[in-house]
Amino acid sequence: MEKDPLSVKLEVDSFDGKIHVEWEPEASVTPMGQLAFFIQFLKVGHRFEHWINDCPLTYKSPNAPQKVDVIGSIMLSILSGHKRYAHIGTIIWDNVNAQLLGMKKIVSDDSARRGLKKIDENEAVEWMQKHLHLCFDPLLTIPWIMDVDVTVKTIYGHQEGAVNGYNPHKKGRPSHTYHSYMMANLKIILEVEVRPGNESQSKHSLPGLMELLNRLPKSCWPEFVRGDCDWGSDRVMSELEDAGCHYLFKIKKHDNVKKAIRDAHCSGGWRMDEIR
């Protein structure tokens, strides 16, 4: 059954005022056509203004660009799927979306690069973590499970931290490792750490995991942390037990593990509240 195109104008609230959006089935398609609704979400949820105001970027020159123009240009470039600063030039004439965000203009790639260099790294991490946490904070009050995983990304060319390590996709190629912590129920990424390609083991993820847990109040901790067999090591499990966090990991069936399982089965008296 074919659906008729939406002919009713929808009212969308942007930083430039209310606009009306309607679909034209014969018009050209643009990947940024739905951005007006995302901008409305940013405004209604008070996400964009606070994010910009808290950004640790400051200019002293009166001729410098506005902070909202620099950070907004980078955000629009990322939403457009760009991977390099130079790609900002392809959207520099997009006055529509920039205006809806309350921006005066889209800055050049040089201005965006210089702006990011002016931000202290530690302050930038704290700024982003704070606003990322505000996005999922209300969801942590209900029972949830944290999934921990490491993804290997092959790197071509010369990039910081790209070294040879465990790479199942392209053996011998340099790579980065993405250590991710995710709400399993909703598939929401809580945090991602980018590390060199030779740091794909759970022992390199553990400090980031504990730092994330320590930033959350105990009432917002997951019911348990879940991971593959690489996480089923004595170091990881001992540190989580000391912190009072439950876990569910796979364990490699070494001889000592098999012996421990065999002895436990033979002893009997298992109880569910003893299983972690």
What pLDDT, on a 0 to 100 scale, did the predictor assign at position 190?
A: 93
> How much is the average pLDDT of 3-7?
56
Name, in order, each residue with C-beta under 8 angstroms of 40's C-beta and a sequence gap of 6 or more: 12, 13, 14
What pLDDT, on a 0 to 100 scale, did the predictor assign at position 276?
A: 45
**Predicted confidence band at 252 (pLDDT cuts at 50, 70, 90)?**
confident
- Positive or negative, the CA dihedral 95, 70, 160, 204 is negative
Of the listed ranges 21-25, 88-92, 162-166, 235-239, the one predicted with least confidence: 21-25
What would the two tokens of residue 257 be? 């593990």
3-state secondary structure of 94: coil
Between CA 169 and CA 166 the distance in angstroms is 9
Q: What is the pTM of this model?
A: 0.76
Pair type for strands 10-14 and 175-183: unpaired
**Tens of pLDDT along 142-178?**
999 999 999 999 988 888 888 898 888 888 899 999 9
Query: Do the Cβ atoms of 35 and 97 come closer than 8 Å?
Result: yes
Query: Do the Cβ atoms of 228 and 249 come closer than 8 Å?
Result: yes
Query: Do the Cβ atoms of 175 and 156 come closer than 8 Å?
Result: no
Percent of the chain with pLDDT over 70: 92
